[in-house]
Structure 1
Amino acid sequence: MVSVALPQIGTRLSASPTGLQWVVDAYVLVYAALLVPGGTLGDRLGRKRTYLAGVLIFGAGALTCALASNLPVLLAGRALQGVGPALLVPGSLTIVRSLFHDERRRAHAIGLWSTASGLAMAVGPALGGVIVAQWGWRTVFWINVPLAAVLATTAWYAVPDVPGTGRQSGERDGDARRTGLLADLDIPGAVLITAGLAASTYATVVGQSAGWGSAVFFVSTSITVLAVGLFVRRERRHREPLVDLNLFLRRDFLAANLAGLAVFFAFVGAIVYFSIYFQHVRHQGPIAAGLSVAAIGAAFAVAAPISGRLTHRFGPLPPLTGGLLLAAAAFLSLTPIGAHSGMVLIIARFVALGAGVGLALTPMTQIAVQAVPDGRAGMASAVHNALRQQGQVFGVAVLGAIVYAHQDYLTGFRIALLTSGLVLLAAAITTLLLPTRRPRPASGRSRHQ
């Protein structure tokens, strides 16, 4: 919804195009940078408590944005909002994993968790267009304040305690041990990975605006390489590493995370420019453009829970590889798109694209979080979500550079669609790294649950 509100924000707060870009990027940068520490905090402090903290921080950030009288206050609110999902996103996924021990029910639950993303994509742009047109840009932030209150209240009463690794027998979720719950937390490692992810995100953002050969891009990239290199060196030696790097030696974990990076690069990056295509090339209004793009999210929302059932029955490889191939084919079939292309054919390809990503997202998510014991599930979830978020940032920037490298928008847009299709095709090939397994029949208890 925020992206739809940007033109009105620019008018009301006298924001420059660069300032409007940071309305989006301030949130993305903080969110991406804090995901790994946020997931590890959930492992240590308890998932329910961390989830609740994330929801409340997100609500506080939304309130700050809704009350902002100038751009700096709005950007501060957006940065505060970014802290929230860094805590609640990995926390929510690990809660789902902890609550469902039966493999069939867990796969279905992760499918429903993934469906939420599709519903947001389907409803967000169209709803945002209506809200901004009727009640103004502040409403897209006000709406999150009561939502956060409802989520926090519901979670407090409905979600059982999902303890972290620091929980002693008899202690409540998140209670500190006598020796200090965070005494052995790798604080320097958290600082290094946060700096590395923040610098990587910043380099991508400024590279798009200031230029890929600019000094600020070079400095940010250098900081990224230095921070990540020091982080890897430290984690290999630390007794309680923030991220267990040995996980990346597992074929399933590596393939799932590479697929997540590729999917969000191609999928989310392209959606941004689909919206621009409908408004600037086909001259549709924001509501009509939002409804057109919503076909992708609607198909995604239908396919994701189906993928959970397929994953349980056939294993993760068929729906993951099949979904990636379907999405790649949809992108490649869209490359001849023009100003007067038939909407029926475009929507049909959008449905195939959304269904393909919906089929792939559930098995890749399940593989990533099931590669570790319960005590490190938050870490695995955070790593997976951090790579997906980096893929999104890179996708918007790199595909944008491709689009705007040509004077004719359609020419650049077609090359960007081709790039997205090839990236997803490469991701499908990486799934060949995944070990196959025979599906296990559900127990009698499972069939009646």
Structure 2
Amino acid sequence: MVERVSARPSAVARGVLLPLALAQFICSFAGSNMNVMINDMAEDLNTTVQGIQVAITLFLLVMAAFMIPGGKLTDRYGRKRCLNVGLLVYAVGALISAAAPGLGVLIIGNSILEGIGTALLIPPVYILATMLFTGTTSRARAFGAINAAAGIGAATGPLIGGLIATAISWRAAFIFQALVIGLIVLLSRRSLEDPLPADPTRHFDVGGAVLSAVGLILIVTGILAADNNLLLSLGLLVAGVLFLVWFFVSVRAKERAGKEPLLSTKLFRNRTSNLGLVTQNAQWLMLMGTSFVVAAYLQVSRGYNAIETGVIFTAATVGVLLASLAAQRLAQRRAQRTLIVTGFAVTIVGIVLLIALVRVSQSAWALAPGLFVLGLGIGIMLTPSVNVVQSAFPEAQQGEISGLSRSVSNLGSSLGTAIAGTVLVAGLAATPGRNYALALVVLVVVGLVGLVAGARLPANRPAAPEPEPAPAD
């Protein structure tokens, strides 16, 4: 019998939560740690800054493209089995990346295998958290811990990656990922059980999975191609939109025929969830876009090495940590809408500081205040955004909404690196200062869109704390 947690965290709850949080941490870490190793990797693999940008963006894109199918597979094959398969695929990809002789093999290991592994293992993390932590407060704590791990992973990726790359090699950063995956496997074997049996009879929409993945890949590839071939970029974008339209038309046709599509259109009829998805996409677009832009600017334009670049990002890590430590108290005292709107406002202020202070001083430490404020803002709003979306649907739809939620977040991450990175790289050699500022201005606009979406969420009051369970006789 699987124990579900509905009150204050116990040793059992912490044992369940630790491997889930670690899984989210390492996937977020993988999305940002390469940013500080751009020069080292480009030189070692005989490629360019743009080549490494493509590898990073494709990793985030593969996650986004296959996250919805990954969420659906959990119903058919079981949440824990999908988690384990995802961990295995991820570890193999990390080891291949560590031994990559060139950009092509790195893309196979990191962008494709690690991306697919992440798409398989992340939906079970959120589904298991939703199912195992049934009370409002305990579920908020669980999401708080997992999303804190996501924010910390993304924020500490540059620092840890820089330390490893400088002390050993950039290749050792992938070995580190494989070791953490091994630890997660050991921890999950002892503590995690699937609360519901798998249903092998559940239909899996292969055609829908292909259409949605191709559509997303074409759109992001079109953005990446913008600085080289505008006509090709436009063609890819149009093709991507057409594939996504084809996907939604096929979904409606399958629903009318009584078949189970990859994604139910009912998920898009919930206004609260839709607004929450917009905020999730904008948050990760801003975080990953800023991380890539600042890291690339410091290394390519100012000549900083991996460790120097990583140390600067400590400011963002501290901001995320402080916000995460206060997350539970904030959730009990403030409405989720208030936290999300405040988070976007603070994050925008952080990006504006990154634009303004870099002009005041040539020291990289001039970026620290902006990164700290940005980390604080991201940390404030990550958990309430996820909670808004996940809590809008019953357990029966958690597989679908978890996959959609993670797909939207990772699409934001890939778009952040693709859009802001493309604006920066397009003129990094000739006009680095101007393109740096322009890339960050694009992210400010995204932040304003997220702020407006957050302001339109319902102003629900924070839930009252749950009563403590009576002591056992």
The question of a shared fold, defined as TM-score above 0.5 by the shorter chain, is answered with yes
Q: Does 1:222 align with 2:238?
A: yes
In the aligned structure 2, how far is the partner of 1:100 from the partner of 1:355?
Answer: 26
Match for 1:160: what amino acid? Answer: E
Number of paired residues?
Answer: 432
By how many angstroms is 1:279 displaced? 3.3
In the aligned structure 1, how far is the partner of 2:300 from the partner of 2:181?
Answer: 35
Q: Does 1:355 align with 2:376?
A: yes
| TM alignment of 1:250-261, pairs within 5 A | 250-261=270-281
Q: Residue by residue, what CA displacement relative to the aligned partner does 1:112-165 show, whole Å, maximum 9, x if unpaired?
A: 1111122223432122222222322321222222221221121122112133xx
What corresponds to 1:108 in structure 2? 141
Q: Does 1:247 align with 2:267?
A: yes
In the aligned structure 2, how far is the partner of 1:285 from the partner of 1:362?
Answer: 33
By how many angstroms is 1:368 displaced? 1.2
CA 1:67 to 1:329, structure 2 compared with 1: closer, same or farther past 3 Å?
A: closer
Selected match of 1:153 from 157, 164, 186? 186
What corresponds to 2:115 in structure 1? 82
| TM alignment of 1:47-58, pairs within 5 A | 47-58=79-90
By how many angstroms is 1:412 displaced? 2.5
What corresponds to 2:76 in structure 1? 44
CA 1:333 to 1:304, structure 2 compared with 1: closer, same or farther past 3 Å?
A: same
In the aligned structure 1, how far is the partner of 2:310 from the partner of 2:281?
Answer: 25
Q: Residue by residue, what CA displacement relative to the aligned partner does 1:339-358 show, whole Å, maximum 9, x if unpaired?
A: 55376764233222111111
RMSD, aligned CA: 2.5
Selected match of 2:176 from 120, 132, 143? 143
By how many angstroms is 1:266 displaced? 2.0
By how many angstroms is 1:83 displaced? 0.6
Q: Would the aligned equivalents of 1:256 and 1:365 in 2 still touch at CA under 8 Å?
A: yes
Q: Which runs of 5+ in 1 are unaligned?
A: 168-173
| TM alignment of 1:33-432, pairs within 5 A | 33-78=65-110, 79-163=112-196, 167=197, 174=198, 176=200, 181-182=201-202, 184-208=203-227, 210-211=228-229, 213-215=230-232, 217-237=233-253, 238=255, 239-341=259-361, 346-404=367-425, 407-432=430-455
Q: Would the aligned equivalents of 1:274 and 1:293 in 2 still touch at CA under 8 Å?
A: no
In the aligned structure 1, how far is the partner of 2:41 from the partner of 2:380?
Answer: 36
By how many angstroms is 1:359 displaced? 0.7
CA 1:267 to 1:10, structure 2 compared with 1: closer, same or farther past 3 Å?
A: closer
In the aligned structure 2, how far is the partner of 1:72 from the partner of 1:283?
Answer: 26
By how many angstroms is 1:36 displaced? 0.9
CA 1:430 to 1:337, structure 2 compared with 1: closer, same or farther past 3 Å?
A: same
Q: Would the aligned equivalents of 2:39 and 2:299 in 1 still touch at CA under 8 Å?
A: no
What secondary structure, in the 3-state scheme, does the structure 2 residue paired with 1:336 have? helix
CA 1:45 to 1:391, structure 2 compared with 1: closer, same or farther past 3 Å?
A: same
By how many angstroms is 1:335 displaced? 2.8
So what's the TM-score if we normalise by structure 2?
Answer: 0.84
What corresponds to 2:30 in structure 1? none
Bigger shift: 107-116 or 338-347? 338-347
What corresponds to 1:170 in structure 2? none
CA 1:162 to 1:67, structure 2 compared with 1: closer, same or farther past 3 Å?
A: farther
By how many angstroms is 1:190 displaced? 1.5
What corresponds to 1:171 in structure 2? none
CA 1:337 to 1:67, structure 2 compared with 1: closer, same or farther past 3 Å?
A: same
By how many angstroms is 1:103 displaced? 0.8
Match for 1:63: what amino acid? Answer: L
By how many angstroms is 1:373 displaced? 1.4
By how many angstroms is 1:54 displaced? 0.8
Match for 1:300: what amino acid? Answer: V
Q: Residue by residue, what CA displacement relative to the aligned partner does 1:55-106 show, whole Å, maximum 9, x if unpaired?
A: 1110011122223344433322121111111011121111111111111111
